[in-house]
Amino acid sequence: MKLLDALSTFTEWTDHLLTRSTARAGLLRPLQLDAYRSYGTAARFYIKGRLLADRGLTAQAATDSRWRNFRSMVRRFNSREVAGADLVAELPDGSQHLVTTDDEGYFTLIIEPQALPEPVAYLWYPVPVKVSRLPRQFRPPLPLVQASALVLVPPPTAEFGVISDLDDTVFETSATNVLKMLGRTLFSNAHSRLPYVGVADFYRRLQRGRTNRPDNPFFYVSSSPWNLYDMLDEFMGIHEMPPGPLLLRDLGISRPKNSPPPGVVGSAAVHFAHKLHEINDVLGAYPNLSFVLLGDSGQEDARIYREVVRQHPGRILAIYIRDVQVPARALLVGPITKELHTEGVPMLLVPDYATAAAHAASLGLIVNEPIPEQPVETIIEKASE
């Protein structure tokens, strides 16, 4: 582990050196501020983003060649992060909130607003963020770099929340086969990736529960790196998945945030610790909300969710694990299913989302049949009455 820490420190140092040298020479691309979708409550906003040089990405299309997809993916990972920059977020009440980017260009803000801003979409509230000071190696004048962070605030009428994995849960990644996983990641884009049959419909039904209102918040927790955020966010929009925060992982080599259970080592330990940490944060943000969890049998989702049930008794309504058709992985799910059954938490290993939807309907989480959507404008008008 000490060797990995040393390697991580060395790669970060060389990357920062190259960024500083390029900036001093005036050769760095224009800066871009990424503000990720995040979440909060009426009294507390959690905001995360990243400041880096524009990676030169162009719009994705279904007709893009595998070579063009590969070049775009290289640009995503060959990023030039800006550390030590000061940012400011300003709320409508006039309050300003300062933060400084870390060694990887990331920033995290926790804000307690006096009042909610005007929503830009149902349940989504904007927080403007801009650069107020750059490190001294950047040549003046200060460029105008800003973004709007969208914060999801669930309404009091939410029946439950939903936390979902992405890889091999929403779309195929083949995480159990390293070569296939690399191929699917490096040579595809938001248009060429396809969701599993029925997943978007099932998720939209969960979002609307039994009330036909899109009030139930979604959170997507994945071990995919933040470098893929733009592609994943676009994928979700293309396929009309319920919008929600994408809680991804820093690609840097580091120690797990939490101690994984015995027998979980290496990359699995990092995956386990990251997802458990993010899920705990979400459940902690909404202590009065129950949740449905969705994952797959390809990695550690079943064991992670078992730990969530242990740490948050009475909070989990149901767990659905998509079967990736690897018998050895399915065998690991069986004992956990039996264990959770004794605790009153149903966990199903499902071959498809029609099976999951039928079970969710039997629990009263969704209606038996797909329900017509109401225009968001109508929902907002009724909520204000």
Question: Which range marks the domain in which residue 351 is found?
Answer: 161-384
Q: How many domains does the chain have?
A: 2
Domain C-terminal end among 117, 152, 187: 152
- pLDDT at residue number 271: 83
- Asked if residue 148 and residue 189 are part of one domain, the reply reads no
- Asked if residue 225 and residue 104 are part of one domain, the reply reads no
Domain C-terminal end among 86, 119, 152: 152
User: In tens digits, what is the pLDDT along the chain, a chain of 385 residues?
Assistant: 333 334 344 445 445 555 555 544 454 568 899 999 999 999 999 999 999 988 888 888 888 888 888 888 888 888 788 999 999 999 888 889 999 999 999 999 999 998 888 999 999 999 999 999 998 877 766 778 999 999 999 999 999 999 999 998 999 886 666 677 777 778 888 888 889 999 999 999 999 999 999 999 999 999 899 999 999 999 999 999 999 999 999 876 444 455 555 555 456 788 899 999 999 999 999 999 999 999 999 889 999 999 999 999 999 999 999 999 888 888 899 999 999 999 999 999 999 999 999 999 999 999 876 555 544 444 444 433 3
Residue 44 lies in a domain: yes
Domain C-terminal end among 152, 176, 200: 152
- pLDDT at residue number 375: 47
- Asked if residue 179 and residue 48 are part of one domain, the reply reads no
242-273, pLDDT tens digit by residue? 999 999 998 764 444 555 555 554 567 888 99
Residue 21 lies in a domain: no
Helix (H), strand (E), coil (C) string for the chain: CHHHHHHHHHHHHHHHHHHHHHHHCCCCCCEEEEECCEEEECCEEEEEEEEEECCCCCCCCCCCCHHHHHHHHHHHHCCCECCCCEEEEECCCCCEEEEECCCCCEEEEEECCCCCCCCCECCEEEEEEEEEECCCCCCCCCCCCEEEEEEECCCCCCCCEEEECCECCCECCCCCCHHHHHHHHHCCCCCCCCECCCHHHHHHHHHHCCCCCCCCCEEEEEEEEHHHHHHHHHHHHHCCCCCCCEEEECCCCCCCCCCCCCCCCHHHHHHHHHHHHHHHHHHHHCCCCCEEEEEECCCCHHHHHHHHHHHCCCCEEEEEEECCCCHHHHHHHHHHHHHHHHCCCCEEEECCHHHHHHHHHHCCCCCCCCCCCCCHHHHHHHHHC
Residue 128 lies in a domain: yes
- pLDDT at residue number 340: 95
- pLDDT at residue number 161: 98
CATH of the domain at 87: 2.60.40
- Asked if residue 374 and residue 228 are part of one domain, the reply reads yes
Residue 300 lies in a domain: yes
Residue 22 lies in a domain: no
